[in-house]
Amino acid sequence: MHRKRWITGIIAVPILYLLIAAGGMAFYLLITVATVLTLGEYNRVVFPAATGMAARLIPLVGLCLAPLIVWQAFYGHLTDVLLIITVDLIAVAALTLPIFKTDRHAPYLVAKQVLGMVYITVPMASLVAIRSDANGALWIFWILCIVAAGDTGAFYAGTYLGRHKLCPWVSPKKTVEGSLGGLAANVLVALLMKLLLLPALAILPSIGFALAIGISGQVGDLFASEFKRSAGIKDSGSLLPGHGGFLDRLDALLFAAPLAYLLKIGIF
């Protein structure tokens, strides 16, 4: 498993670096593809096998609107994202009306579909908004390094030092020691990469930024685990050998990205 993870990383990281550095349409297409694939994995986890046309259309509506949300972020029209989500809500709510005749749980289909849009599509669109700034590529690299460091730090600290369970009813292997090790790695890598990428940023706000990203990322990781445990699966997909699916790999970033965007425009 570790060998597959390293091979996937060695192949994926250079491609990811080039697309982030290129920006523009290349970065938009990267985020759009990742968004659709991640949302598709989410839909397979939370939606049961649909029997009627209306029920099958509900997740498809989200998949069709997701690229449009990312497109609006690409052009800086973030206010239009709220409009698209509102249209999505109205459309899927209308689709549940015939379903409710035979299934009293039909409103929950709307809740799960709209949650997917907010949980996956909006955070991915926030990455496009961050990249659109003058130093956007550097910020994206910085955020990704912080998130990856937290994941790696938590894994190794938990493996070698873990004694106290963090949230065993959701993720039995995660420990308090691993969580603290992840946050320490968040801060250490954030300060190191700040010197290399964004030296003008002040140290104390950068530490606060790293801790906020780290905590939100850990919550995002546990939140994704809730879906997988409730569905009785280990991984959301298999497109990334050694890592599982896109949702498995992006779970922390989905919570960290929108918070990073808000902190970036509000503090720095």
3-state SS, one letter per residue, for 175-206: EHHHHHHHHHHHHHHHHHHHHHHCCCCCHHHH
pLDDT at residue number 65: 97
pLDDT at residue number 164: 95
* pLDDT digit string, tens, across residues 111-127: 999 999 999 999 999 99
Alpha helices for the chain (secondary structure H): 2-22, 24-46, 53-74, 79-99, 106-116, 122-131, 136-161, 176-197, 203-231, 246-266
pTM above threshold 0.85: yes
pLDDT at residue number 54: 81
Contact of 58 with 95, CB cutoff 8 Å: yes
For residues 74 and 70, give the distance between their C-alpha atoms in angstroms, rounded to a whole number: 6
pLDDT at residue number 161: 94
For residues 177 and 166, give the distance between their C-alpha atoms in angstroms, rounded to a whole number: 8
Residues of the chain under the 70 pLDDT cut? 1-2, 50-51, 242
pLDDT at residue number 1: 55
Contact of 171 with 225, CB cutoff 8 Å: yes
